[in-house]
């Protein structure tokens, strides 16, 4: 991989130099020194851009390019040899219904993210008003998002296990369920989606809170003078002003529910009908040595998410919010 990095930087530098040269020949200045100075001035932004560009290309575009290339081969992930198989992997993905069936699991997470956005919005609104212990509550709500996903997986594994935290809390209030929370597909997926709500509510909350707090205070005052209730304030002041953030949250929620990975992978390993598209992709690549097919699956997922984002932008265009 180090080899690739070096080559990448060399290539980009070359691209920059050649551009510089064409520019230089395009403008004809009699005095050489002035040309040089002008040239340098023109090149400066590119020189500054070179570092992030090199990083971006090396660590994002080259791997993605590689992945797209693998998706057209039958590579097993280890062997030095690979054969070009054309679109065969893509044909397989679209002709094998079991590979697509896992997307049904995403509906659990999608439903959960609706609840998640509602909860986050509610708390963001409430905490944007002057309240006692406001900052404490903010911290409490945001805290789960800071914990590493793997740790959350382990914590909740103990939470849901037979006689674990959830069962003992329930027994304090006199409910003895004796239910295996991760035991059947429906209950397992609901439990896992619940964990993901717990984890990501904080992120949505902070996004909403930021948007709400950027609303000028005079608007509330004016509304209060006019006798608007809290609900009316929310409906006519807060809701319109957080629309861009809300639409961002929805895109994140949809792409997030299609690409769920960490929590189910750690907690159930995809057993008992909790496998998601990404878990399936990982298994194809690393259990069954079908790196080519898995790359194709990853490309398909990328395209699906791009498509959904595009549709969403079409339906809800990003318009300027004008409150006054």
Partner 1 sequence: MGKTKTLAGALLAIATLTATGCSGGGAPSTEMAEAPADPGKATGSITVLTQRTDLVQSGAMDAYAAEFNKIYPKVKVKFEGLTDYEGEVKIRMNTEDYGDVLMIPASVSKNDYPKFFAPLGTSIKMADKYRFSDKSAVNNKVYGIAQFGTANGFVYNKALWKKAGITAWPTTPDEFLAGLEAIKTKTGATPYYTNFKDGWPLVQWTTNIGSVTCDENATNKLAGPVSPWKQGSELQVIDTLLHDIVKGELSEKDPSTTNWEASKTKLAKGEIGSMMVGSWSITQMQDAAKKAGKNPDDIGYMPLPVLKGDGHCATLVSDYQQAVNAHSKHKEAARAWIDWFTEKSGYSAKEGTVPTLKSAPMPATLKDFVDNDVTYVERSETDTGKVNDIDNAAEIGLNKPDYRQKLIDIARGAQKGSLDDYFTDLNKRWDEAAKTAGS
- Residue 82 gets which letter from DSSP? -
Q: What share of the chain is helix, strand, coil (3-state, %, to 5)?
A: 75, 0, 25
| The one among 33, 287, 317, 319 contacting partner 1 by CB under 8 A | 287
Determine, following the binding rule CB under 8 A, whether residue 177 of this chain makes contact with partner 1. no
- CA–CA separation, 169 and 264 (whole Å): 23
Backbone angles phi, psi at 75, to 5 degrees: -60, 140
Best CA proximity match to 294, nearest among 81, 75, 103: 75
Range in contact with partner 1 (rule: CB under 8 A) among 132-140, 224-232, 233-241, 288-296: 288-296
Collect all residues with Cβ–Cβ distance below 8 Å to 254 and sequence separation of at least 6.
Answer: 110, 113, 305, 308, 312
Determine, following the binding rule CB under 8 A, whether residue 153 of this chain makes contact with partner 1. no
CB of 135 vs partner 1, minimal distance in Å: 37
Site for partner 1 in 102-141 (CB under 8 A): none
Q: Of the two residues 78 and 315, which places its CB atom closer to partner 1 in the complex?
A: 78
Collect all residues with Cβ–Cβ distance below 8 Å to 312 and sequence separation of at least 6.
Answer: 247, 250, 251, 254
CB of 134 vs partner 1, minimal distance in Å: 38
Q: Which pair of structure tokens corresponds to residue 213?
A: 């707090």
| The one among 21, 59, 165, 183 contacting partner 1 by CB under 8 A | 183
Q: Of the two residues 139 and 183, which places its CB atom closer to partner 1 in the complex?
A: 183
End-to-end CA distance of the chain: 55
Determine, following the binding rule CB under 8 A, whether residue 149 of this chain makes contact with partner 1. no
Convert residues 36-55 into a mask of x (bound to partner 1 by CB under 8 A) and - (unbound): -----------------x--
| The one among 112, 290, 292, 294 contacting partner 1 by CB under 8 A | 290
Count of residues that interact with partner 1, criterion CB under 8 A: 50
Determine, following the binding rule CB under 8 A, whether residue 101 of this chain makes contact with partner 1. no
- CA–CA separation, 259 and 253 (whole Å): 10
CB of 223 vs partner 1, minimal distance in Å: 46
Determine, following the binding rule CB under 8 A, whether residue 94 of this chain makes contact with partner 1. no
Q: Which pair of structure tokens corresponds to residue 211?
A: 């948007």
CB of 166 vs partner 1, minimal distance in Å: 11
Q: Is 213 within 8 Å of 206 (Cβ atoms)?
A: no
- CA–CA separation, 183 and 154 (whole Å): 17
Determine, following the binding rule CB under 8 A, whether residue 270 of this chain makes contact with partner 1. yes
- Buried (b) or exposed (e) across 96-130, using 16+ Cβ within 10 A? eeebeebeebbebbbebbeebbebbbebbbebbee
Convert residues 58-87 into a mask of x (bound to partner 1 by CB under 8 A) and - (unbound): ---xx--xx-xx------xxxxx-------
| C-alpha pair distances (Å), 213 with each of 124, 130, 225, 234, 241 | 9, 12, 20, 13, 10
Determine, following the binding rule CB under 8 A, whether residue 286 of this chain makes contact with partner 1. yes
Q: Of the two residues 247 and 289, which places its CB atom closer to partner 1 in the complex?
A: 289
| The one among 161, 247, 309, 312 contacting partner 1 by CB under 8 A | 161
Best CA proximity match to 106, nearest among 261, 250, 309: 261
Determine, following the binding rule CB under 8 A, whether residue 170 of this chain makes contact with partner 1. no
List contacts with partner 1 (CB under 8 A): 1, 3-4, 7-8, 11-12, 15-16, 18-19, 23, 53, 57, 61-62, 65-66, 68-69, 76-80, 157, 160-162, 164, 180-185, 188, 268-273, 283-284, 286-290
């Amino acid at each position: 991989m180090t080899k690739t990095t070096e080559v990448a930087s060399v290539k980009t530098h070359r691209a920059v130099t050649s551009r510089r040269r064409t520019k230089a020949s395009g403008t004809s200045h009699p005095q050489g020194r002035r040309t040089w100075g002008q040239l340098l001035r023109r090149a400066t932004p590119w020189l500054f851009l070179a570092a992030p560009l090199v990083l971006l290309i090396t660590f994002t575009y080259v791997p993605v390019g590689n992945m797209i290339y693998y998706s057209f081969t039958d590579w097993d992930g280890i062997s030095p040899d690979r054969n070009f198989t054309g679109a065969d992997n893509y044909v397989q993905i679209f002709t094998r219904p079991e590979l697509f069936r896992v997307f049904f699991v995403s509906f659990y997470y999608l439903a959960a993210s609706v609840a998640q956005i509602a909860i986050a919005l509610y708390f963001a609104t409430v905490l944007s008003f002057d309240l006692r212990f406001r900052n404490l509550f903010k911290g409490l709500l945001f805290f789960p998002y800071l914990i590493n996903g793997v740790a959350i997986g382990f914590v909740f594994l103990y939470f849901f296990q037979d006689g674990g935290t959830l069962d003992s809390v329930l027994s304090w209030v006199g409910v003895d369920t004796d239910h295996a929370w991760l035991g059947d597909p429906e209950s397992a997926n609901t439990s896992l989606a619940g964990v993901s709500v717990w984890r990501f509510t904080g992120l949505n909350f902070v996004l909403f809170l930021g948007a709400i707090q950027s609303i000028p205070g005079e608007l509330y005052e004016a509304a209060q003078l006019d006798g608007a209730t809290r609900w009316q304030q929310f409906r006519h002041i807060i809701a319109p002003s957080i629309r861009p953030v809300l639409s961002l949250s929805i895109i994140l929620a949809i792409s997030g529910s299609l690409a769920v990975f960490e929590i189910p992978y750690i907690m159930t390993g995809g057993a008992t009908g909790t496998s998601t598209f990404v878990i399936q992709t990982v298994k194809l690549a690393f259990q069954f040595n079908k790196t080519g097919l898995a790359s194709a699956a990853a490309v398909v997922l990328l395209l699906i998410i791009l498509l959904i984002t595009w549709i969403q932008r079409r339906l809800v265009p990003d318009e300027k919010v004008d409150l006054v």
